[in-house]
Amino acid sequence: MPKNLILLKILFLSLLVSAFSQQDEFIYTGFTGSGNNVSLNGVAVIQESGILQLTNETSRLIGRAFHPRPLRFKNSTVANSFSTVFTFAIVPEYPKLGGHGFAFVLSPTRELAGALPSQYLGLLNSSNNGNATNHIFAVEFDTVQDFEFHDINDNHVGVDIDSLISAKSAATSYYDSGSGEHHPLNLKSGDAIQAWIDYDSIAKAVSVTLSPFSSKPSTPLLSVPFDLLSILEDEMFVGFSASTGLLSSSHYLLGWSFKMNGAAQSLDLSSLPSLPHPRKKDHYLAIIAASLSAISFVILAIAAAVYVFHRIKNAEIIEPWELEYGPRRFSYANLRRATKGFRDSELLGSGGFGKVYRGVLPCSGGEVAVKRISHDSRQGIREFVAEIASIGRLRHRNLVQLQGWCRRGRDLLLVYDYMPNGSLDRFLFSDEKTSPGPPASPRQLLLTWDQRFQILRGVASALLYLHDEWEHVVIHRDVKASNVLLDADLNGRLGDFGLAKLHEHGANPSTTRVVGTLGYLAPELTRTGKATASSDVFAFGALVMEVVCGRRPIEPKASPEELVLVDWVCERWSQGRWPEIVDHRLAGNYNMGEVEVALKVGLLCSHPVAAARPTIREVARYLHGGGTTEVPTVSQPPATGVYEQETASAGEGVGGLVDFVHSKSVIVVEEVVSLAGHG
C-alpha cells in the first residue's frame, strides 16, 4: 500500500510540475488588452496603439518592461531550455546616430538598482560590470560603438553574460534562405525587426536570429556555446531594458512571445500594432508653441506672485569676501534700471547659462549686455566670483570684455560690453531660426569670405591669449559659434570664457550636467573629464569648419552622409573635392588659398588624439601665415586601436558617466560630468 501511495504522490507531483511548466509560456501581440500585463519600470510606457515604448528621444533615460511574474529557469542541477521571439523597432533622433540600444534580459530582479543609462543599457554600472554575482544574461541590440566594451561597430547584436563586454557579438544581418546569403540589417532603420533567441540546455548553446520578415531564417546570426546553469538563478524575471545617452532613440516593442522548454509561438507581423508615423517636427513645434502661449499666461500669474515673495526674501546680500573685488561690483538696482526691469523686449538671447539682456547704464549711458545666471549653490558662486575677479582682468581685442558683476539671492549677473551684431551663429545658419537679437538686415546677414577669415583669425588670437599669453592658462571650455560675438566692425570676439566652469562647480551631487556642446567636444574628455587647451583646439576646429561650410557640426536635417560635418569634410577633402563643401551662399567668391588653409587647420584640430592636434599658437601662425604649404598635410585619423587605449581607463575620472558616439572617421563624444565632490 505505501508503495502505491508513493506512486500516486509522484504522479500527482509530476502533474503539478507539468501544469506549472505549461504556464511558462506567454504571448503579447501588442501590450494592451491581454490578460498578462507587462510590468513597466523607468520611463517605459504603453501607447494607446498597444506599442510598448521603452524610451523616447530624451537623453539619458532608462526604460524597462518585464513579464510580471518570475519564471522557473532551473532546478539545482539542470537549466531549462527556452525560446523567445519579439518584434522591435528603433527610431533614432538623428538618422545616422542611434543611442544607445536595448537588451533582452534575464535578471534576478525587475529593478536592476544602480544601473546606468547610455552604454550600460540600464543593465549594470561601472562598478558591477563583469561581476559574476550579477546573474544577468542579456542579448544586446546596440546602436553605439563603445570602445570601453570592445564593441565591434554601432550596429551589432551581442550575448552578454554578467558584463557589457559581449561574450560574442556580430554585426546585424539576416540570412535569406532564398539566395543563401546574409543581408545586412540596420537596427536604427525605424522599421520593425524580428528577433529569435533560443537556449538549448542539452546542446548548451544560445542562438540569436534576426529577420525583417515574419518567418524565421534557418541560419542564426549568432550561436554561442555556453552553459547558462551558473548564470541562472532558480527563478528569474524576463524582459527588456533600453537606454539613451546624449544621443537617443525611441525603442519600441510591438510583440513578444516566450516559451520554456519548447518553441515560442511565432508572431504574425501583420497582427501587431503598427509603428507611429515619423515625427513631423514642424507640426510638433506648432503644438508646442500653441500650448506654450496658453501656459505662459498661467506662468506669468504665478511668476508675479513668486516675484513679490522673492523681493522680500532675496534681498541683496553682500558678504565680506565679495568686497575684496569692490570696484567691479554693480548694484542690482542699477542693472534692473538699465535693463528696464529685465524686460523681454530687452532680451538679446538665452542659452545654457541664462538669459542675456541689453542694458543702458543709468549713470554713464553706456550700452552693456547683462547676463543673468541662476545658480543654486552659494559655494559654487563663491568660487566662481573669485574666478570672475581674475577673468575680469583679461583684456584682448578679440574677447568680449567683462565689466563687472552683481549677485543677488541666487542670481548672478554678469555685465559685458555690448556687441551690436550679436553672435556668429545668426550669420552662419541663416536658414534656422536662432535666438532673438538686434535686427540685422538680410544683406548684413551674409558674411563675406574676408569677414569670415578675419573672424577666425580673431578667435584664434583670443584663444592664444587665453592659453598662452596671459598670466594663467585659461581654458574656454565652450568654444562654439554662438559664443563668438561680432562687434560693430564685425570683428569676432570670444565670449563666455570660464563660464562652463560654473556648471562644473554645481552644488547638487546627484545631478549631472552636460558641459560643452555636442559636436565640439574632444574625445579625450571621456578619459579625464577635464577640459584642456587641446580640447579647446578641437572645438576651434569644429568652429572653423562651420564658418567655411556655413552649417552646424551635427546637422539633423542633412542627408546621412553629411550628418556629421567633420566626416563630410574629411571625405570630400581626401577626394580632393573640397570646393563642394564651401558655403554655397558665398557663390564661389572666396580666396581658394585661404579656404584651403582653413579646412586644413580645421581637420588638424579635429584629430581624435589630443597630442596630434596643433597648439593654438601653431594654429594662429597658420591662419596668419603665407599659405597652404606652411600647414602640415592632414594625415588620416588613426585606426580604432588607439581609441581603445585612450579610453581604457574611462570612468575613473568622471564616475564613468561618459558616452561615446563613433562616426566614420572621428569620434564625437558626449561628456557628462558628475558633480559629486564639487561645491
* Residues of each annotated binding site for ATP: 371
Cβ partners under 8 Å of residue 193, min gap 6: 87, 88, 89, 185, 187, 210, 211, 212
| For ligand NAG, the closer CB: 47 or 189 | 47
Cα–Cα distance for residue pair 589/639, rounded to 1 Å: 37
Binding-site residues = 371
| 556 contacts ligand NAG (rule: CB under 6 A) | no
| Grid cell in block for residue 653 | 575620472
| 230 contacts ligand NAG (rule: CB under 6 A) | no
Cα–Cα distance for residue pair 240/326, rounded to 1 Å: 58
> Of these, 80, 241, 248, 482, which contacts ligand NAG (CB under 6 A)?
80
Choice among 146, 478, 496, 536 that is catalytic: 478
| For ligand NAG, the closer CB: 7 or 17 | 17
| 574 contacts ligand NAG (rule: CB under 6 A) | no
CB of 73 to ligand NAG, least distance (A): 9
| 77 contacts ligand NAG (rule: CB under 6 A) | yes
| For ligand NAG, the closer CB: 23 or 374 | 23
CB of 343 to ligand NAG, least distance (A): 30
| 441 contacts ligand NAG (rule: CB under 6 A) | no
Cβ partners under 8 Å of residue 619, min gap 6: 460, 463, 464, 537, 540, 601, 604, 605
Distance of CA 504 to the CA centre of its chain: 17
| 243 contacts ligand NAG (rule: CB under 6 A) | no
Q: Are 188 and 92 in contact (CB under 8 A)?
A: yes
Q: Are strands 347-351 and 137-142 parallel, antiparallel or unpaired?
A: unpaired
| For ligand NAG, the closer CB: 57 or 367 | 57
> Of these, 78, 290, 445, 612, which contacts ligand NAG (CB under 6 A)?
78
Number of residues assigned to the chain: 679
> Of these, 7, 13, 16, 37, which contacts ligand NAG (CB under 6 A)?
37
| 75 contacts ligand NAG (rule: CB under 6 A) | yes
> Of these, 23, 58, 331, 511, which contacts ligand NAG (CB under 6 A)?
58
Other Cβ atoms closer than 10 A to 390: 14
| For ligand NAG, the closer CB: 72 or 621 | 72
Cα–Cα distance for residue pair 174/152, rounded to 1 Å: 17
Of 51-59, 157-165, 547-555, 565-573, the window that binds ligand NAG (rule: CB under 6 A) is 51-59
Other Cβ atoms closer than 10 A to 136: 27
| For ligand NAG, the closer CB: 77 or 293 | 77
| For ligand NAG, the closer CB: 54 or 369 | 54
Q: Which of residues 116-155 bind ligand NAG (CB under 6 A)?
A: 125-128, 131, 133
| For ligand NAG, the closer CB: 122 or 458 | 122
Cβ partners under 8 Å of residue 298, min gap 6: none
In the residue annotation, 536 being an active-site residue is answered as: no
Cβ partners under 8 Å of residue 329, min gap 6: 322, 404, 405, 406
| 249 contacts ligand NAG (rule: CB under 6 A) | no
Cα–Cα distance for residue pair 359/337, rounded to 1 Å: 8
| Grid cell in block for residue 276 | 507611429
Q: Are 476 and 463 in contact (CB under 8 A)?
A: yes
Other Cβ atoms closer than 10 A to 11: 10
Element (H, E) at 20: helix 2-23
DSSP code for 639: P
Using Cβ positions, the residue closest to ligand NAG within the complex turns out to be: 114
Q: Is the dihedral of CA 408, 411, 416, 422 positive or negative?
A: negative
| For ligand NAG, the closer CB: 181 or 234 | 234
> Of these, 1, 5, 19, 113, which contacts ligand NAG (CB under 6 A)?
113
The separation between the first and the last C-alpha atoms of the chain, rounded to the nearest angstrom, is 79
CB of 226 to ligand NAG, least distance (A): 19
Cα–Cα distance for residue pair 217/198, rounded to 1 Å: 13
Q: Where are the beta strands (DSSP E) in 346-410?
A: 347-351, 354-360, 367-374, 402-408
Of 69-77, 137-145, 263-271, 560-568, the window that binds ligand NAG (rule: CB under 6 A) is 69-77
CB of 58 to ligand NAG, least distance (A): 4
CB of 129 to ligand NAG, least distance (A): 8
CB of 112 to ligand NAG, least distance (A): 7
The number of residues that bind ligand NAG (CB under 6 A) is: 20
| For ligand NAG, the closer CB: 78 or 302 | 78
Torsion of CA 338, 339, 341, 347, to 10 degrees: 180
CA distances from 546 to 431, 531, 614, 623 (A): 14, 21, 19, 16
Of 75-83, 183-191, 604-612, 626-634, the window that binds ligand NAG (rule: CB under 6 A) is 75-83
| 345 contacts ligand NAG (rule: CB under 6 A) | no
> Of these, 43, 103, 412, 650, which contacts ligand NAG (CB under 6 A)?
43
> What is the full DSSP assignment across 445-495?
TSPPHHHHHHHHHHHHHHHHIIIIISSS----S---GGGEEE-TT--EEE-
Cα–Cα distance for residue pair 127/651, rounded to 1 Å: 10
| For ligand NAG, the closer CB: 51 or 595 | 51
> Of these, 1, 3, 18, 35, which contacts ligand NAG (CB under 6 A)?
35
CB of 99 to ligand NAG, least distance (A): 13
| 23 contacts ligand NAG (rule: CB under 6 A) | no
| Grid cell in block for residue 303 | 511668476
Of 55-63, 142-150, 441-449, 538-546, the window that binds ligand NAG (rule: CB under 6 A) is 55-63
CB of 43 to ligand NAG, least distance (A): 4
Helices and strands (H, E) in the chain, number of each type: 14, 28
| 22 contacts ligand NAG (rule: CB under 6 A) | no
CB of 675 to ligand NAG, least distance (A): 15
Q: Are 68 and 100 in contact (CB under 8 A)?
A: no
CA distances from 229 to 236, 271, 325 (A): 12, 36, 68
CB of 56 to ligand NAG, least distance (A): 4
CB of 162 to ligand NAG, least distance (A): 10
| 84 contacts ligand NAG (rule: CB under 6 A) | no
Return residues touching ligand NAG (CB under 6 A): 17, 35, 37, 43, 56-58, 72, 75, 77-78, 80, 113-114, 125-128, 131, 133
Q: Which residues are catalytic?
A: 478
